[in-house]
Amino acid sequence: MTYSLILLAHGSSDPKWRAPFERLHDALAARMQVSLKLAYMELSEPSLESTVAELAASGVRRAEILPLFFAAGRHLRKDVPAQVEALQSLHPGMDLKLLPPVGEHPAFIEALAAVIAEQAGETLST
């Protein structure tokens, strides 16, 4: 396989925080026909650095990084692009592309709005 999609979450030292991201990864991996990895920006393993190194060692030549963030704050404007640039230097035979955060996708906004409306409806009816 020459392509992989990396789901990038912030990271936390609390394993319970990571559980929803792991469930999302597992659900997507069962549905998708591409190499799919879950990595964390900081505080957790696997890190983005170790994930990219593993993919490069396995022959992957192109990887897209999809941030599981609501919006592009400081981390996605500065920290993650700097990580990706450093990784590109370490693995010059690999093309790394940072995608916009999932929270900016119209379908995400619609799905989140539906969940909030459902929750509000449950609260109002109890």
Residue in 36, 23, 85 with CA at minimum distance from that of residue 64: 36
Q: What are the residues whose beta carbons fall under 8 Å from the beta carbon of 41, sequence distance 6 or more?
A: 8, 9, 10, 11, 47, 48, 75, 79, 80, 83
Q: Report the 10 Å Cβ neighbour count for 109.
A: 12
Among 10, 25, 75, 91, the one annotated catalytic:
10
- 25 catalytic residue (yes or no): no
**Sequence-separated (6 or more) residues with CB below 8 Å from residue 116:** none
Q: Tokens 């170790």, residue? A: 50
Active site residue ranges: 10
